[in-house]
A and B are shown apart, each in its own frame.
Chain A
């Protein structure tokens, strides 16, 4: 039990109740008011990418999917590679700030806050390999750690590095078209049996899904049975 909220540094007050005595309580790391601002995704979501369908304009919903996923799945080049993505939280302003402090300012400790939730979700998904989306060497040096790998590590889970970057990833400013047509952003690291495996990709945010789809396509072509993704937040 830490004494201070990891987000706002307020002192944490321990609430003792009967349930505290009888059940092993989850470790509290953030205060109730910060906890409250983390919104879990509930309700109808796109059955591929987890996008909350109630929150988007009806014209972008096609049956049980969002129009983006429909577009991906209609494209023979991408069809069927990424089985789906599960996101835990809405990427609201609060989480945006937390993730930016975590990833860009480099406040590694914040990974701990998500460990419990991540662990529970990962357990449900039964994967042979947990694969964090890799950073380029320069980016990893710059940040000091890989944010996806740190999430797994703090959840006490083992990362398998099946992938590496082929070149730098200065892509956040490029358009969706550019990103899709980037020939190949990952390559395999060898030394692992991929054929017939269930692979779970891990990243912090699902934005357009193109990074994850690139990874999924490469792994499926190498013989993986099933490639799924787990992300902290769905933007």
Chain B
């Protein structure tokens, strides 16, 4: 769309009564912002849809006339969709700056060659003539909502320490990393901080890379904050336009938000795709208000973050022990020779075979992590001779959910898996082995997560975790070190019971 500037205000071309000089929004130096007319009766639906958001005109089900009126009266702000920094474009919605993810086309809206972002095209096209519309302030002046916390569980000592730190960070608008071991119970430690933020009329968002985590967290938080209507956002969710003081969202859905939240809690910062994708990190930063608090949750922060923590450059708190007060199982490293070559001869290294047979004999369930999906047919051919109930899963497996379910029901004695089961799933009484733990896909963080599958339940707090390798890697040693450090810290602080 093109705009004229008239009386220090933008006027969209379709609303001009007579021809005027017009230009695309990208070419306007500073976008004029009319001041607020406090006597104007704004439309509450427009406000609800735009507050803390950044939407395209096509995403707002109101007429251009009505939207323009709200702008003129100082209630709507327009920003450029694409800005040029030293001649190279940057998408303001997703932060994309990679030249190969931009393209140009002769645009019917602005009648010029228009540059658009291909990175976020699935959410509608942002181009040089595209304004991003927001409500002009992001304070929720809505009627005071009560947010009672309905929960009568108790926090472990470690959780309590972290919970206090979370409250403190929220009160001072600071950032905080909660470095909690797998099985520490990280959801509960957030409750008090969220309650505190809501009581101050702050708007809170929990962002996580995965849709299944959003779907799992929503009912849990809804249950403890029954007076709040929690918004749950993932691709295709019905809550897309819902305004709520407590939003649980995939990181991806945050692209439509702009300076919306006073508190953003980012779950699993170390997990793919958030850790890999700069535009997702941009989305999270874009969604927080200038004065706000960011709480990062991780069981396995990357090397840089760990270093920052050690050097005092990052505010953090650790929970080195699990809720059940038993130490984390420490991985055993076992050399198994050239397993790849063995597999090609339809064999497994003898110590791997022995490990698996022992689990079958003891009737203890096990996961066998493998580095690549291509190994599955050969492995199954070997393993199903031991026990025909042994199965395998991978990311694209259509029966993935069903197989995890059978594992839960103990119908599968050993499940062979790619790294997809590295996070999230818990089976109570379990041993875990990694075949080929020297492969690149098994980063230190992946290995800590995998080891974290063992000994999760209070009933079965121990178990065996073995890395079978063809040469030790830095990642394996780091993973083991991280786990040992956590156990040592927990022992020192009296957070684990040692028999």
Contacts and interface: CB of A to CB of B under 8 A. Distances in A.
Interface of A: 2-4, 9, 101, 105-109, 140-146, 150, 153
A101 B123 CA distance: 10
Given A101-B122, A144-B114, 15 more contacts: A105-B121, A105-B122, A105-B125, A106-B121, A106-B124, A107-B125, A109-B105, A140-B108, A142-B58, A144-B105, A144-B107, A145-B105, A145-B107, A145-B108, A150-B105
Contacts of A141: 108-109
B156 interface: no
Nearest to A9: B101
A143 B109 CA distance: 8
Given A3-B100, A105-B125, A107-B125, A144 B108 contact: yes
Contacts of B100: 2-4
Given A2-B100, A106-B116, A109-B103, A144 B121 contact: no
Contacts of B125: 105-107, 144
9 contacts: A3-B100, A9-B101, A101-B122, A140-B108, A141-B108, A141-B109, A142-B58, A143-B108, A145-B106
Nearest to A108: B105
Nearest to B110: A144
A107 B108 CA distance: 14
B127 interface: yes
B235 to A, nearest CB: 14
B118 interface: yes
A37 B108 CA distance: 31
| Pairs of residues from A and B, 8 with the lowest C-beta to C-beta distance, nearest first | A108-B105, A109-B103, A106-B125, A140-B108, A107-B121, A144-B107, A105-B121, A144-B109
A97 B127 CA distance: 21
Nearest to B109: A144
Contacts of A2: 100
Interface in B106-153: 106-109, 114, 116, 118, 121-122, 124-125, 127
A86 to B, nearest CB: 26
Contact of B118 (A109, A140, A146): A109
B56 to A, nearest CB: 11
A145 B121 CA distance: 15
A153 B113 CA distance: 13
Contact of B103 (A3, A108, A142): A108
Contacts of A108: 103, 105, 116
A142 B125 CA distance: 11
Contacts of B124: 105-106
A192 to B, nearest CB: 22
Interface of B: 58, 100-101, 103, 105-109, 114, 116, 118, 121-122, 124-125, 127
Nearest to A100: B122
Contacts of A9: 101
B28 to A, nearest CB: 19
Contacts of B114: 144
A11 to B, nearest CB: 10
A108 B105 CA distance: 7
Nearest to A140: B108
A134 B185 CA distance: 60
Nearest to B120: A105
Contacts of B127: 144
Contacts of B121: 101, 105-107
A208 to B, nearest CB: 26
A109 B121 CA distance: 11
Nearest to B123: A105
Nearest to A2: B100
Contacts of B103: 107-109
Contacts of B122: 101, 105
Contacts of B118: 107, 109
Nearest to B106: A145
Contacts of B116: 106, 108
Contacts of A109: 103, 105, 118
A140 B106 CA distance: 12
A97 B103 CA distance: 19
A39 B125 CA distance: 28
A109 B102 CA distance: 9
A27 to B, nearest CB: 15
A31 to B, nearest CB: 14
A137 to B, nearest CB: 9
B108 to A, nearest CB: 5
B202 to A, nearest CB: 35
A143 B122 CA distance: 14
Contacts of B105: 108-109, 144-145, 150
Interface centre among A108, A140, A150, by most B CB within 10 Å? Answer: A108
A106 B109 CA distance: 12
Contacts of A4: 100
B58 to A, nearest CB: 7
A161 B116 CA distance: 26
A155 to B, nearest CB: 15
A117 B130 CA distance: 32
A44 to B, nearest CB: 34
A229 B200 CA distance: 65
A33 B115 CA distance: 28
B100 to A, nearest CB: 5
Nearest to B103: A109
Contacts of A105: 121-122, 124-125
B406 to A, nearest CB: 30
Interface centre among A3, A107, A140, by most B CB within 10 Å? Answer: A107
Nearest to B125: A106
A170 B451 CA distance: 57
A1 B127 CA distance: 24
B61 to A, nearest CB: 14
B129 to A, nearest CB: 9
Contact of B106 (A101, A142, A153): A153
A114 to B, nearest CB: 15
B101 to A, nearest CB: 8
A147 to B, nearest CB: 11
Contacts of A106: 116, 121, 124-125
A233 B121 CA distance: 23
A143 B101 CA distance: 19
Contacts of B58: 142
A230 to B, nearest CB: 21
Interface centre among B105, B107, B109, B114, by most A CB within 10 Å? Answer: B105
Nearest to A109: B103
A97 to B, nearest CB: 11
